[in-house]
Chain A
Amino acid sequence: MIPINNFLVLSAILFSLGIYGVLARRNAVLILMSVELMLQAVAINFIAFAVYLSPDQFTGVIFAIFVITIAAAEVGLALAIILRLYRNKATANVDEADIMKW
């Protein structure tokens, strides 16, 4: 029997690596990949809580399905925006997209 803590610690490690990636990377595609890691950590957490802590309801599993759905939509939209950015500024680095900064 695997204790629930194993899954929660794994999810915390994945989420922290995602935070590191989002903060340290400059390229928009790499930032998007780090966000995916964070969403995976959230899905692991939801499912672990659903199967260990609530035997009758399994809202966590349903939520994980929604997380994956929204993540798919987000990836499609974000990559279109990155393509647009590349076409306008010839770069995909987020710190060169500073039109709205003053």
Chain B
Amino acid sequence: MTYEEVIFYVIAVPTVVGAIGVVTARNVVHSALFLILSLLAVAGVFILLAAEFLAIVQVLIYGGAVTILVLFAMMLTRVRDLPAALDGPQRPFAALAAGIFMGISILSVVSTEWPGETEEINVISIEQIGNELFTTWSVPFEIASLVLMVALLGAIILARGEEGE
């Protein structure tokens, strides 16, 4: 095992442990904290893949904004005060479905010969990403900004409620 693989496992184990915590924790706030652990570990995976721009974006958007939003929603909907169980009676079926999916996908990954696999990771610089994003992908980029604006306006209108309510 090379030292790179050791680093990979050091990062992959917190990712999986955090994900297991998210889906099994009995306390919703613990669940959100496990989500932060998992998302930051995924940022580490992005750095291992030499995508440092995405790692920065990951820490900013997921580590900061998304988890804060989720914690706010938990506070406002008072999930903790409600006595109802967090898991439904369908838990065994969910475990079965997820297990079958995991088995099939891992088997297909292991048994596939990836064509054109390189020995070295191709480092993709931020400059290259910027050039590509504003030339080849400029129309999808604009559509994505439009989607963001519409979604956030919709969120404001939905959360504010109707007049005289």
Interface range for B: 35 or more
What is the CA–CA distance of A74 and B154 in the complex, to the nearest angstrom? Answer: 11
A residues 47-102 with Cβ under 8 Å of B?
47-48, 50-55, 58, 61-62, 64-66, 68-77, 79-84, 86-87, 91-93, 95
* A77, B151: Cβ atoms closer than 8 Å: yes
Interface range for A: 35 or more
* B114, A53: Cβ atoms closer than 8 Å: yes
Q: Which residues of A contact B78 (CB under 8 A)?
A: 86
What is the CA–CA distance of A13 and B57 in the complex, to the nearest angstrom? Answer: 23
Known: A65-B54, A65-B133, A80-B154. A51 touches B45 (CB 8 A): no
Q: Which of A32, A71, A79, A81 has the most CB of B within 10 A?
A: A79
Binding site for A on B (CB under 8 A): 2, 4-5, 8, 12, 15-16, 19-20, 22-23, 28, 31-32, 35, 38-39, 42, 45-46, 48-51, 53-54, 57-58, 61-62, 65-66, 69-70, 72-74, 76-79, 82, 84-88, 90-91, 93-95, 97-99, 101-102, 105-106, 109-110, 114-124, 128-129, 132-133, 137, 140, 144, 147-148, 151-152, 154-156, 158-159, 161
* Number of cross-chain contacts by CB at 8 Å: 246
What is the CA–CA distance of A14 and B16 in the complex, to the nearest angstrom? Answer: 7
